[in-house]
């Protein structure tokens, strides 16, 4: 991936409104990975990623920036909540499971790419297997030493082979033309053995040995013949042939390499593990989690079922609202591992207006397309969109600020009646203007106690 920082920001702009400082920070971090790959092997090992903390209230685009970034660069990505983890020795997830989950994401990514590469070959093999079912090879009877094959017998065999080859070609042409999709064939469908449940006091994700994989190999896989139409049988055969063509060892090797050099971990709610250590009792959810996170962020080797994974060059993007705490409340050692801090701004009226219209999959476009499936044409006017943005901004300001997520609540209330009546509407064109929006929300907005709960 050799996109320049400006190109990365331009792509992010298609989905996320504003927050230019955060977009620039992540774009530079991604570009630095490409720059690192151009260095000599000796220097490359010493260049570590500059991890980022995104500071800002909920609903302003922190998670979306990280998620879209990973999709853009095709990197293994995982989003985890810091609050899910507890200090080692207590009930809860071990922080090293982050890297195991990231490796699984890498495996899925590489496997998907390899499936695309072997698609053509797999399709050819599926066609051959279907032809074998439609035009089976004649069974050869037991050899009779008394029987002597003369020229006549040889000629007959050759004619049979030529006839079968011609039949096979005709069947192949019909198969490729889609004329035999409903023809029934018998297929031996593999039944996977039931998963073996393994319980341990540390949880399944902490077991380094892939015991489930081991049991899958030991236990016999049952198979039962099923009568299927060719269109259904093709799906089963495609899956089998694709899996057979993929080199699992190569998948694991590529995935581990990609995780180590391009993996992105989005660590949300980092502010919830901030704060001083408690003066009494076990400190399960704050300093303990930070101490456990430190080696993973700093650089360590985590054992996974696909092999050891080094975390030295994985990019960590942490995020939090930091309402009741601040980044300086983190342990000094952990602070040092997140040198880049970016503050995301609250959304203004103008931002809400842009969120409703500019992104590639803006909410107004989503609602219009959803109702189009019922034949209803939803038309958002300029003053209608302005009314939604105005109300969202005011409710966020006067009640709880939940950012752009407020738009989901308000729009759902606005189009609720149209969505409900959609299939039965006589008038299939509905205009959402300012009056329509205020009529739908007027009663709720007038009663302040009600607006707190409804909007």
pLDDT tens readout for residues 219-261: 555 567 777 787 778 888 888 888 888 888 889 999 999 999 9
Q: What is the signed CA dihedral for 307, 312, 313, 319, rounded to 10 degrees?
A: 110
Question: What is the tally of structural domains in the chain?
Answer: 3
- Angle at the Cα of 196 from the Cα atoms of 190 and 201, rounded to 5 degrees: 155
| DSSP summary character for residue 49 | -
CA–CA distance, 424 with 420 (Å, rounded to integer): 9
Burial class for 133, CB neighbours closer than 10 Å (0-12, 13-18, 19+): middle
Task: Evaluate if residue 450 carries a pLDDT over 80.
Answer: no
**Is the separation of the CB atoms in 82 and 275 below 8 Å?**
no
Instruction: Please indicate, yes or no, whether residues 244 and 264 belong to a single structural domain of this protein.
Output: no
55-66 per-position pLDDT tens digit:
988 888 888 888
Print the domain residue range for 369: 349-443
Per-residue confidence (pLDDT) for residue 285, from 0 to 100: 56
14: tokens are: 């298609």
Which of 33-37, 83-87, 111-115, 128-132 is predicted with the least confidence, judged by mean pLDDT? 83-87
Last residue of a domain, one of 252, 279, 299: 252
Nearest to 412 by CA among 455, 449, 359: 455
Q: Does residue 48 sit within a domain?
A: yes
- Angle at the Cα of 222 from the Cα atoms of 216 and 224, rounded to 5 degrees: 150
Sequence-ordered list of residues with C-beta below 8 angstroms from that of 326, at least 6 positions apart, any chain: 274
CA–CA distance, 415 with 378 (Å, rounded to integer): 9
Instruction: Please indicate, yes or no, whether residues 175 and 269 belong to a single structural domain of this protein.
Output: no
CA–CA distance, 224 with 399 (Å, rounded to integer): 61
The alpha-helical segments, DSSP class H, found in 178-278 are: 211-218, 230-245, 248-262
List strands edge to edge, sheet with 340-343.
77-81, 264-268, 315-320, 52-55, 340-343
Sequence-ordered list of residues with C-beta below 8 angstroms from that of 309, at least 6 positions apart, any chain: 99, 102, 103, 256, 259, 260, 301, 302, 303
CA–CA distance, 406 with 388 (Å, rounded to integer): 10
Last residue of a domain, one of 194, 225, 252: 252
Q: Does residue 123 sit within a domain?
A: yes
Instruction: Please indicate, yes or no, whether residues 18 and 99 belong to a single structural domain of this protein.
Output: yes
Instruction: Please indicate, yes or no, whether residues 28 and 55 belong to a single structural domain of this protein.
Output: yes
Give me the percent of the chain exceeding a pLDDT of 90: 16
Instruction: Please indicate, yes or no, whether residues 172 and 186 belong to a single structural domain of this protein.
Output: yes
Secondary structure of residue 155 in the 3-state scheme = helix
CA–CA distance, 234 with 49 (Å, rounded to integer): 46
| DSSP summary character for residue 85 | B
CA–CA distance, 421 with 369 (Å, rounded to integer): 16
Instruction: Please indicate, yes or no, whether residues 233 and 123 belong to a single structural domain of this protein.
Output: yes
Instruction: Please indicate, yes or no, whether residues 54 and 83 belong to a single structural domain of this protein.
Output: yes
Instruction: Please indicate, yes or no, whether residues 327 and 366 belong to a single structural domain of this protein.
Output: no
200 — pLDDT class (breaks 50, 70, 90): very low
- pTM for this prediction: 0.76
CA–CA distance, 46 with 419 (Å, rounded to integer): 57
Instruction: Please indicate, yes or no, whether residues 96 and 177 belong to a single structural domain of this protein.
Output: no
Last residue of a domain, one of 222, 252, 282: 252
Instruction: Please indicate, yes or no, whether residues 293 and 261 belong to a single structural domain of this protein.
Output: yes
| Rg for the chain, CA atoms, rounded | 30
310-322 per-position pLDDT tens digit:
999 999 999 988 8
């Amino acid at each position: 991936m050799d996109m320049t920082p400006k190109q990365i920001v331009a792509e992010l702009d298609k989905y996320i409104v504003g927050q230019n400082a955060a977009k620039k920070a992540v774009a530079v971090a991604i570009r630095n990975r490409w720059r690192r790959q151009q260095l000599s092997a000796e220097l490359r090992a010493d260049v570590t990623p500059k991890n980022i903390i995104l500071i800002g209230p909920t609903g302003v685009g922190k998670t979306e920036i990280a998620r879209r970034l990973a999709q853009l660069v095709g990197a293994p990505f995982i989003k985890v909540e810091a609050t899910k983890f507890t200090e080692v020795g207590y009930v809860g997830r071990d922080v090293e499971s982050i890297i195991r989950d990231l490796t699984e994401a890498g495996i899925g990514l590489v496997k998907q790419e390899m499936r695309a590469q072997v698609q053509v070959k797999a399709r050819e093999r599926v066609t051959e297997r279907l032809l074998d079912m439609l035009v089976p090879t004649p069974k050869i009877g037991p050899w009779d030493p008394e029987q002597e094959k003369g020229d006549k017998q040889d000629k007959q065999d050759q004619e049979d082979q030529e006839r079968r080859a011609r039949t096979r070609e005709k069947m192949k042409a019909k198969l490729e033309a889609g004329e035999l999709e409903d023809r029934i064939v018998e297929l031996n469908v593999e039944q996977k053995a039931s998963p073996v449940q393994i319980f341990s006091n540390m949880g399944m994700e902490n077991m380094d040995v892939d015991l489930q994989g081991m049991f899958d190999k030991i236990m016999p896989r049952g198979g039962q013949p099923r009568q299927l139409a060719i269109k259904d049988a093709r799906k089963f055969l495609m899956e089998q042939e694709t899996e057979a063509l993929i080199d699992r060892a190569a998948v694991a090797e590529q995935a581990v390499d990609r995780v180590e050099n391009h993996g992105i971990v989005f660590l949300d709610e980092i502010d919830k593990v901030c704060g001083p250590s408690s003066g009494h009792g076990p400190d399960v959810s704050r300093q303990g989690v930070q101490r456990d996170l430190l080696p993973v962020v700093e650089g360590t080797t985590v054992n996974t079922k696909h092999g050891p994974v080094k975390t030295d060059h994985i990019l960590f993007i942490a995020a939090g609202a930091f309402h009741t705490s601040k980044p300086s409340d983190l342990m000094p050692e952990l602070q040092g591992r997140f040198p880049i801090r970016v503050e995301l701004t609250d959304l203004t009226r103008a931002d809400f207006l842009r969120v409703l219209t500019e992104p590639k999959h803006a909410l107004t476009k989503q609602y219009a397309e959803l109702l189009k499936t019922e034949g209803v044409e939803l038309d958002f006017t300029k003053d209608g969109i302005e009314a939604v943005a105005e109300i969202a901004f005011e409710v966020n300001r006067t009640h709880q600020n939940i950012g752009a997520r407020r738009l989901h609540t308000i729009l759902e209330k606005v189009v609720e009646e149209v969505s409900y009546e959609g299939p039965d509407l006589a008038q299939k064109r509905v205009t959402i203007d300012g009056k329509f929006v205020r009529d739908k929300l007027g009663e709720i907005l007038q009663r302040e106690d009600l607006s707190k709960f409804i909007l």
